[in-house]
Structure 1
Amino acid sequence: MTNVKTVWRKAQSMLLFIVLLLFISPFFMILLNSLKKNKDITSKPFALPASLNMENFVTAFQKMNYVHAFFNSLIITVCSVALIALFASMTAHYFVRNKTRINQATFMMMVAAMIIPFQAIMIPLVQIYGSLNLMNSKGALIYLYIGFGSSLAVFIYHGFIKSIPKELEEAAMMDGCSLLQTFFKIVLPVLIPTTVTITILNVLWIWNDFLLPSLVLIEGEQRTLPLSTFYFYGTYTADYGPLMASLLLTILPVVVIYLFAQKYIIQGVMQGSIK
């Protein structure tokens, strides 16, 4: 029986290792080919680079206007994620502590809104905001991200806040705290694990998003990293080296963020499920 369990565990480990290789192989191929010359990529795409060719990264960095696009993505992501976390937590707290029929109906509508795909409303959305001259603006894009990201965040916060004893808030208000002070000093610190999880998931979504920025941001000065990579690809279609380097430069920041923050994602999900 012990031998069977040992063999089964080894088989599971081997299977997981194979799945890991399948997942990291695209990233590994991009890394290898970003260090090669164009003729080596087309002739030997799976071979190791004969020499490290950093010219691809220099070309991609300059032609993409990488620094400008990076800060565009950073501003949009930070502002959107911070406002989603703030507004969603306050909204969920209000729904939990004020159980009226209107609040319950509003909460159910927000939950139902999560099943509506963005592709179903993107054309009328662009037409409406275009007629109001609200396109090509970081503020408009942040506003849209808040709208599309709040439903899931409110749903997650709602389940977590229900487990917080109401007596904590009542005690704080008896000590002289206002409603806002009670929320920011008592409730919000308790929500840190959930907030971290929501923050990281939204960072991964907004940083990598292409469709919504492509509809809203028109001018080159407003482009995010995914948009810069797309237009760079349209210009350098036949030059695969800089293309691979541009892809690596685009995905590298979010990969680094995820590697450092993955333990917080796991902690937040586990604590939320326990609550």
Structure 2
Amino acid sequence: MKRKPVGKIIVNILVILLCCVWLVPVYMVIVNAFKSRAELYENIFAFPKHFTLEYFQGALKKMDFLMAFKNSIIVTVIAVGIIVLLSAMTAWMFVRSNNKLSKFLYGLLILTMLIPFQTIMMPLMQEMNQFGKFFGIPFKDSLGGLIFMYVGFGAGMGVFLFHGFIKSSVPVSLEEAAIIDGCNTWQLFWRIVFPILKSITVTVIILDVIWIWNDYLLPSLTLTSIKNKTIPLAMSLFFGQYTIEWNMAMAALTFTIIPVIIFYLLCQKHIIKGVAAGAVKG
């Protein structure tokens, strides 16, 4: 029986140690969700003396978790769906057109990824309010307005990833054969091109789901009423001006991260494949 090289064993040990370091925050969140505030301040790393679901129940009630969860699901699913569809179609047309206008528009979209949101957030909100008043559409305190802005901010990265994948992994000869067989442009995209984009589509979905689901800043600027609050906004109820209910916040945070973790575990096998393929050519 061959022994493993010492170097490989050391690397494995280092990887395990790094994994433990990365898992410490998750451990702290879950363990402290079962503690009272006094017990939490005593030792944040210790196991709770008595396991109870009291703080989970209190957190669900205080933040109206079901309402916030529903709002987050609506915003995330619709925004991600629109981003994926529009980005895939736009990237495909940019790659296949390959003219000066397409290159200019593609470069313009990529440039939007370099602009920090914090530098434009106040002018953006003013413009969106004016836009809503002009067309009679309530963008302020509206899930629809929030979705609209997410689509705009997510388009650049989506087009960038799809563009690289299509350029390197979707052969033109396949599309030409489909056209010879009688496919029009619409059929060509949905029946031939889009199914090939499965891995990069899952990658874009995962990245956007994690971003939109956990985002606090944009919803805090857009949504004001309690009925429209997403989960990150509902979480802010535990952080008051003078007191912070850490145990209930940890319980709420546990409920918040579970859907994303499950979704990520189901789709993780597509991430590396999609990103690697999309990064071959830009």
Gaps of 5+ in 2: 133-138
Are 2:192 and 1:186 equivalent residues in the alignment? yes
Question: C-alpha separation between the residues in 2 aligned to 1:261 and 1:237?
Answer: 39
1:162 aligned counterpart, secondary structure:
helix
Q: Report the Cα offset of residue 235 of structure 1.
A: 8.1
Partner of 2:239: 233
* Cα distance between partner residues in 2 of 1:76 and 1:201: 15
Note if contact 1:92-1:154 (Cα within 8 Å) is conserved in structure 2. yes
What is aligned with 2:156?
151
Contact (CA 8 Å) 2:55, 2:248: kept in 1 or not?
yes
- For 2:171 and 2:16, locate their aligned partners in 1 and report how far apart those are by CA, in whole Å: 44
Could you say which residue in structure 2 is the equivalent of 1:76?
75
Q: Is the 8 A contact 1:149 1:202 kept in 2?
A: yes
User: Is 1:245 paired with 2:258?
Assistant: no
Matches of 2:63 and 2:109 in 1, distance apart? Answer: 38
> What is aligned with 1:172?
178
Task: For 1:62-211, list aligned pairs within 5 A.
Answer: 62-133=61-132, 134-163=139-168, 164-211=170-217
Q: CA deviation at 1:271?
A: 4.3
**Structure 1: which amino acid aligns with 2:194?**
L
Q: Select between 42-51 and 119-128 the one with higher mean Cα deviation.
A: 42-51
Tell me how far apart the structure 1 counterparts of residues 194 and 45 of structure 2 sit (CA, whole Å). Answer: 50
Secondary structure in structure 2 of the residue aligned to 1:35: coil
Question: What are the superposed Cα offsets for residues 73-103 of structure 1, whole Å, 9 maximum, x if unpaired?
Answer: 0111111111111001110111111122111
Letter paired with 2:21? L
Higher mean Cα deviation, 152-161 or 253-262? 253-262
> Sequence identity, in percent?
41
Quickly say closer, same or farther: Cα 1:265–1:236, change in 2 above 3 A: farther
Moved more, 106-115 or 239-248: 239-248
State the TM-score, normalized to the length of structure 2: 0.91
What SS does the aligned partner of 2:239 have? Answer: helix
Structure 1 segments, 4+ long, off by >3 Å, are: 235-239, 270-275
Letter in 1 for 2:175: E
* Match of residue 38 from structure 2: 39
Instruction: After TM superposition, give the deviation of residue 273 of structure 1 in Å.
Output: 5.1
RMSD: 2.0
Aligned to 2:60: 61
**CA–CA separation in structure 2 for the residues paired with 1:185 and 1:199:** 20
* Structure 1 residues 238 and 227: alpha-carbon distance in aligned structure 2, compared to 1, 3 A threshold: closer
Show the counterpart of 1:21.
20
> How many residue pairs are counted as aligned between the two chains?
273
Q: How many angstroms apart in 1 are the aligned matches of 2:90 and 2:65?
A: 37
Distance in 1 (alpha carbons) for counterparts of 2:173 and 2:242:
62
Bigger drift between 172-181 and 101-110 goes to 172-181
For structure 1, the residue ranges without an aligned partner over 5 or more in a row are none
